[in-house]
Amino acid sequence: MTTAIATKVFADRIGRIEVSATMAITAAALKLKSEGVNLADFGAGEPHFSTPRHIKDAAIEAIEKNFTRYTNVAGIPEVRKAVVDRHACDFGSNYTPDECVFTTGGKLALFNAIQVLVDHGDEVILPVPYWVSFKDIIQYAGGKVVLVEGEEEKNFRITAKMIEAAITPKTRAIILNTPSNPSGAVVAPEDLEAIVRLAHKNGIYVLLDECYVYLNFTGEIVSGGSFTDCKEHILVLGSLSKTYAMTGWRAGFALGPKPVIAAMSKLQSQSTSNTASMVQRASIAALTGSQECVTEFRADYIKLRDQVLEGFKTIPGLTCTVPQGAFYVYPNVSKFIGKGGIKSASDLAAKLLSEAHVVVVPGEAFGTAEHIRLSYAVSHDVVVEGVRRMRDYFATLG
């Protein structure tokens, strides 16, 4: 008697996603670094600052005091209170701790939100350019990504009118990430309000990725979460990673309607459970302590952005929108495609890495084929050296 041999190795859903493109470029860069190559690394999207002392101390104290056990799945009440109080103080929102779930990084907040809201065939509207993970996370849930192109000439502006044109009976959610990774574009407050109101009117969730909300350089820091009369359809996805230079700690959260938060917590109870207990204590210190570090980081990013943009002016053919936030620039490299055997932005990124030892991420990862992304969360010296290498390399393309 013969037994049937299963030929299927993996579940279909894992075939619907790709490895994160930013992680792939980081891996290639790490390999070169390990071979002793000196790189000007604009690849990874994380602050170059160290986590502030008072945040580290809170974690150390938590460990010393044996605060090392399981906690409530959604986070201890104190951390959820710290999140909602910070948000209320800075943006005028009115969430309660049971409208908050603390997650192992902002990415997990997004992942869980999509898992609980999006079914097979549901549509999710996503502005272009988009952060790499949005698309894959939607597809993993079986959802369909509906892209809306931002207008590059208008700093990748997205308006309610553009979103409205993409709404169908299957639309389940709209994702807004402002300031944006990769373009640094900020959705103007009036556009943000119009989009939130449009979503509310249509019974569609608006997922506000506020990972960079404090890295807004316009002087007017707003959150879509402040439109409290539309709360029923708003989900704020937050992160401490960039705000407090805490990428490795994995601290994020979601604020939203109680039933959605409860569903996300239920999902979390069957996967990661609580965020590391000492990280929750460190996060309380970050959220309730002095916010001076945030102001300092922001001021330095503005200087770095200006330095990069000044440097770009010395590279003929390279054009770039002026980012209003985050720590990325997204120059248009279309003038170089077709020169020196370069066929695409990916090709260019690969050449910049191998020939100029400059790490950038190709625009294809973010839904545009004519750009590269540089993270300028690096030292001022790296900016100077990196821009010089790029200028020299681009000059060889004629």
The residues binding ligand PLP (CB under 6 A) are 45, 105-107, 131, 177, 181, 209, 211, 239, 241, 247, 252
CB of 20 to ligand PLP, least distance (A): 9
**95 or 130: CB nearest ligand PLP:** 130
What tokens were used for 238?
Answer: 């937050």
**22 or 342: CB nearest ligand PLP:** 22
Instruction: Note the residue count of the chain.
Output: 398
SS3 call for 132: helix
**184 or 331: CB nearest ligand PLP:** 184
**226 or 275: CB nearest ligand PLP:** 275
Locate all alpha helices (DSSP H) within the chain, ordered by sequence: 21-34, 53-64, 77-91, 106-117, 132-140, 160-166, 189-202, 258-269, 277-288, 292-312, 345-356, 380-396
* Radius of gyration over every alpha carbon of the chain, rounded to an integer in angstroms: 21
Residues 388 and 169: their CA atoms lie apart, in Å, by: 51
CB of 136 to ligand PLP, least distance (A): 13
CB of 137 to ligand PLP, least distance (A): 10
Whether a cis peptide bond, with omega within 30° of 0, leads into 129 is yes
Residues 57 and 299: their CA atoms lie apart, in Å, by: 25
CB of 208 to ligand PLP, least distance (A): 11
**45 or 256: CB nearest ligand PLP:** 45
**103 or 277: CB nearest ligand PLP:** 103
CB of 184 to ligand PLP, least distance (A): 11
CB of 369 to ligand PLP, least distance (A): 20
Selection from 109, 118, 167, 107 nearest residue 141 by Cα? 118
Amino acid in position 175: I
Total Cβ atoms within 10 A of residue 65? 10
